[in-house]
Amino acid sequence: MLRYSAKQLLNMALTLFAVSFLVFALNELSPGDVARKILGPYASESQVDHLTVQMGLDRPAIVRYFEYMGKALTGDFGDSIVFRMPVADLMFDRLGNTLLLAAISFAVIVPLSVVLGVLAGMRERGWFDRTISVFSSMCASIPEFAMGVFLLGIFVVWLGWLPGTSPLRSDSGWAIWMQFVLPVLVVTFYDAGYLIAMVRSSMVEVMRQPYIRTALLKGMSFNRVVSRHALRNALITPFTVILLQLNYLVSGLVVVETLFAYPGFGRMMLEAALAKDIAVIEAGTLIAVSVTMLTQLFGDLGYMALDPRIRV
Amino acid sequence: MTEKLHPIIEKAGREFADGKLERREFLRLAVLLGVAAPAAYSMVGLAAPALAQGAPKKGGIVRIGMRVQDISSPHTYSWIESANSARQVLDYLTVTGIDNVTRPSLVEKWEASPDLKTWTLHLRKDVTWRKGRKFTADDAVWNLKRVLDDKTGSSVVGLLKGFILTEYDGGEKDAKGAPRKSVKLWDANAIQKVDDFTIKLNGNSANLSIPESLFHYPLLICSPEDGGKFGVGSDGTGAFELVEHEIGKRSVFAATKKAYWGGGPYIDRYEIIDLGDDAAAQVSALASKQVDMIYQGAISTLPTVEKLPHVQVNSVATGYTAVARTHPIKPFDDKRVRQALRYATDNDAVLKGALRGLGKPGEHHHVAPVHPEYADIGYLKQDIAKAKALLAEAGYPNGIDVTIDARPQPDWELLAVQIMVEQWKEAGIRCKINVMPSAQYWANWTKVPFGFTTWAHRPLGTMILGLAYRTGAAWNEANWSNAEFDKLLTEAEGYLDVEKRRAVMAKLERIMLDDGPAVVPVWRAVFNYSDKKIKGYKIHPSIYIDAKDMWIDA
């Protein structure tokens, strides 16, 4: 297992290296001149030339790439062009905010989906199953922005119970925890809808297995069959899916963050990408890729714990 | 009035008495030529408009939802939002109010020579920088010279080029390596310090709108000690100090401890909260009282905001618009194709569909009925047959395929583009829409071959034409050049007599319709939202926002 982990980590380092190069190349190929973007459309050409030389952008892309990587390896990720601050500070701040939102959402989504999914799946086509299925497919099919606007209309404009944006500042007239309610709710509805369906179908499949019928026929109580024999097996497939949600929760919250003006990682990446802010794009992509690969590694390790037959 | 009036005012006064000159235009003229605003108002028998709504109360915070941008270089600002940040700390030499009348600011009084070539600016003597130094003519001269320096890259150059600058070959090259004409002051003595509190602008040609041009939004008066840079702690003569600025998040301004020379401020703090480009987030923040104002309203949010009991909608008719403009490259290098584009557009339908009728239909020449020298040369009606014929004449009997770049915010712009594209289809102009986010659009707005660009309101028709269509102007986004247009425009800028200016303007408007690069579909009313507790605020046609006048009625 140690060997496997080490091998995966080495794999990850290589992937990150490749991704960093790809991102750099793509950014280089996309149209628009960085110095011109910094100075704005009205600056004189001589200013643009001056800044281009000053920033070293007149040198070959490959030289700049290795220089960037050299610095990045020592922990210096450069400065953001859009936000005019060190990328490390910016990332720390924005990623922290997103991780907080992700953690709270995750803590709500996982228990909720597992409980509802299992309850629905253990009695296939029962009234509870039908209700939950309709509910979950409805949630999963409403896009985040539509769900967000819908909830905003009810809780902010109509009832006035909750704050409409989440700047995460206590001086905006609302307690910070209240600023989390709507974003978490939107993410939960959207994401749990999908997860519940996953858990349910996995549960349904397990409940159809001959060994479950055997257990029931030999007189074991239904509850005992579910908790002892079905649950663990039913959770293996959803486990991967649950871990994959971490990717979504870290780098896929762009819509929710924009809608609620939440100072997070997704919104930052969007603005950086629009402005060709390479230092931010590189660092952000590497973080997103790391999260994906680490969750895969944990997923593999988790499998072993859930299913002793799996060896890596 | 004991002081001698400018000869033109005497003449204009007679015209006004004879009923040849409109009251508003006389008022504007008198003020531009150095009559103080209250006196000018009384000359035409009007009471000066008062902002006062009861006695202002001290204290409180106003938070506005607006983009928080990089504001480090005031003289090269290209966004009203940036100027709306820095103007709390820095002052302008003059201020054009919501009534289109220009009033003194750091310049206390001005005089124009009879030929309108020489302008004498008298500075206030009681202004000090926050850090203690006295504000003098040296500060003003330094700023004026800096914005007019080619190397600074300020848009003020386009505005004052005809008046005080001259072109020369300085060996400059543009991005493609082609030679580029540089500009410099036409005379070493063009900006002249007379004494510590007096400046003379010695122009090369007549220009009536100097006081208004001094209020062009990048012309903020910075302390020379800051070297043209601006940020937290920067010195200023204004009512506030910038104490916190985080791009993309928020900006905080604190009232200065010393009394402000211009009266106010009443509130203790003014905060700008960045809510992103999303209109829904802006309304949500307003609804839950996380902000007290929104910089600019959107058509899509208007119905919701009208239902919020604590919010009022502020609106004003303007020369605000967005234009679909072309670069002189195929197929738009042929003026008949550009004409066809105009004939294919139904402006009434655009106004109704994109702006819910809030505004007026445009006339394709970028001079609005609110401009004093606007000449009514008739409304160009949609004529599909004519558009088709023009395209065929230009060698495109089967129509053309083009792509227009537009941005999604504000929402009415994209709607207008979609409506126009449908209309153009009928005439055989098959147009794809390429939507790019605002930030990306503004990084490329002068470079895209065919784009839909917002243009802010300007008090004069000549100002907008000078900024956007004069050959070589920094904001001539269409790369359009018409020698006769340039000549007539400089001529129009020199006429004080509005009728004379109108006569030239009619010619300019016709050139725009015949040869011009743009489709100008609408004139919109601008609007924004503010909490009813905010007093002392009225929306400016350019949405300039001064926090020093605001107070809170709790």
Q: Can you give the pLDDT at residue B409?
A: 75
Using an 8 Å Cβ cutoff, are B277 and B438 in contact?
A: yes
Give how far Cα A208 sits from Cα of A118, A238, B323, Å.
14, 17, 65
CA distance B120 to chain A (A): 29
A51 touches chain B (CB under 8 A): no
**Parts of chain B with a pLDDT under 70:** 1-3, 19-20, 49-54, 172-180, 439
Using an 8 Å Cβ cutoff, are A168 and A176 in contact?
A: yes
Helix axes A265-274, A278-306, angle to 10 degrees: 140
Q: Can you give the pLDDT at residue B1?
A: 38
Q: Is B212 exposed, middle or buried (0-12, 13-18, 19+ CB in 10 A)?
A: buried
Are A271 and B248 inside 8 Å of each other by CB? yes
Using an 8 Å Cβ cutoff, are B348 and B332 in contact?
A: no
The three-point CA angle A50-A55-A61 to 5° equals 115
Q: Which of residues 230-259 of A touch B (CB under 8 A)?
A: 258-259
Q: Which two tokens stand for residue B338?
A: 């550009």
Q: Which two tokens stand for residue A285?
A: 């992509």
Q: Is B487 exposed, middle or buried (0-12, 13-18, 19+ CB in 10 A)?
A: exposed
User: Which chain A residues are closer than 8 Å to B475 by Cβ?
Assistant: 42
Residue A258 lies in domain: 87-147+177-306
Quick check: is A267 in a domain? yes
Are B442 and A41 inside 8 Å of each other by CB? yes
- Dihedral sign computed on CA atoms, order B327, B328, B331, B335: positive
**In residues, how long is chain A?**
312
In 3-state terms chain B splits into helix, strand, coil percentages (rounded to 5) of 30, 25, 45
Q: Is B22 exposed, middle or buried (0-12, 13-18, 19+ CB in 10 A)?
A: middle
Are B290 and A263 inside 8 Å of each other by CB? no
Are A82 and B247 inside 8 Å of each other by CB? yes
A159 touches chain B (CB under 8 A): no
Quick check: is A202 in a domain? yes
Quick check: is A30 in a domain? no
d(CA B67, CA B89): 17
Chain B residue nearest residue A145, CA to CA: B280
Are B290 and A274 inside 8 Å of each other by CB? no
Using an 8 Å Cβ cutoff, are A44 and B153 in contact?
A: yes
In this structure, which amino acid lies at residue B87?
R
Are B445 and A162 inside 8 Å of each other by CB? no
Are B247 and A83 inside 8 Å of each other by CB? yes
**In residues, how long is chain B?**
554
Using an 8 Å Cβ cutoff, are B76 and A40 in contact?
A: yes
Q: Which two tokens stand for residue A206?
A: 């397990």
Closest Cβ opposite residue B281 in set A44, A261, A274: A261
In this structure, which amino acid lies at residue B500?
K
Q: Which two tokens stand for residue A144?
A: 């985040």
Using an 8 Å Cβ cutoff, are B67 and B296 in contact?
A: no
Quick check: is A68 in a domain? no
The three-point CA angle B123-B126-B127 to 5° equals 75
Chain B residue nearest residue A175, CA to CA: B290
Q: Which two tokens stand for residue B221?
A: 């008066």
User: φ and ψ at A292, to 5 degrees?
Assistant: -60, -50
A227 touches chain B (CB under 8 A): no
Are B151 and A162 inside 8 Å of each other by CB? no
Are B290 and A260 inside 8 Å of each other by CB? no
The β-bridge partners of B240 are B255
Q: Write A232-236 long-range contacts (CB < 8 A, 24+).
A: A232/A306, A233/A206, A233/A209, A234/A118, A234/A121, A234/A199, A234/A202, A234/A203, A234/A205, A234/A206, A234/A207, A235/A114, A235/A199, A235/A202, A235/A306, A236/A202, A236/A303, A236/A306, A236/A307
Using an 8 Å Cβ cutoff, are B376 and B368 in contact?
A: no
CA distance B158 to chain A (A): 11
First and final C-alpha spacing in chain A:
6
Quick check: is A152 in a domain? no
Helices H / strands E in chain A, number of each: 15, 0
The CATH number of whichever domain residue A231 belongs to comes to 1.10.3720.10
CA count, 13 A, side-chain hemisphere, B119: 26
Using an 8 Å Cβ cutoff, are B152 and B78 in contact?
A: no
Q: Can you give the pLDDT at residue B480?
A: 95
Q: Can you give the pLDDT at residue A234?
A: 87
Chain A residue nearest residue B149, CA to CA: A44
Q: Can you give the pLDDT at residue B375?
A: 92
Quick check: is A67 in a domain? no
User: Which chain A residues are closer than 8 Å to B286 by Cβ?
Assistant: 164
User: Which chain B residues are closer than 8 Å to A44 by Cβ?
Assistant: 150-153, 172
**A72 C-beta neighbours (distance < 10 Å), count:** 17
CA count, 13 A, side-chain hemisphere, A260: 35
Closest Cβ opposite residue B247 in set A84, A163, A261: A84
Number of domains in chain A: 1
A199 CA to centre of own chain: 19
Are B284 and A268 inside 8 Å of each other by CB? no
User: Which chain A residues are closer than 8 Å to B80 by Cβ?
Assistant: none
Are B153 and A274 inside 8 Å of each other by CB? no
d(CA B209, CA B496): 9
Quick check: is A312 in a domain? no
ipTM: 0.77
Using an 8 Å Cβ cutoff, are B351 and B361 in contact?
A: yes
B487's CB contacts (< 8 A; 6+ apart) are: none
Helix axes A236-251, A176-207, angle to 10 degrees: 150
CA distance A8 to chain B (A): 38
Using an 8 Å Cβ cutoff, are B107 and B200 in contact?
A: no
Chain A residue nearest residue B153, CA to CA: A43
Using an 8 Å Cβ cutoff, are B281 and A261 in contact?
A: yes
Of the candidates B214, B78, B71, B81, which has an alpha carbon nearest to the alpha carbon of residue B143? B214
Are B440 and A274 inside 8 Å of each other by CB? yes
Using an 8 Å Cβ cutoff, are B140 and B93 in contact?
A: yes
Q: Tally C-beta pairs within 8 A across A and B.
A: 128
Quick check: is A82 in a domain? no
pLDDT mean for each 10 residues of chain A (312 residues):
84 89 83 64 56 75 86 84 85 90 93 92 89 90 89 89 88 87 92 90 90 89 87 84 82 87 89 82 88 84 77 62
Q: Is B82 exposed, middle or buried (0-12, 13-18, 19+ CB in 10 A)?
A: buried
Q: Can you give the pLDDT at residue B419?
A: 96
Are B444 and A32 inside 8 Å of each other by CB? yes
Closest Cβ opposite residue A173 in set B281, B290, B446: B290
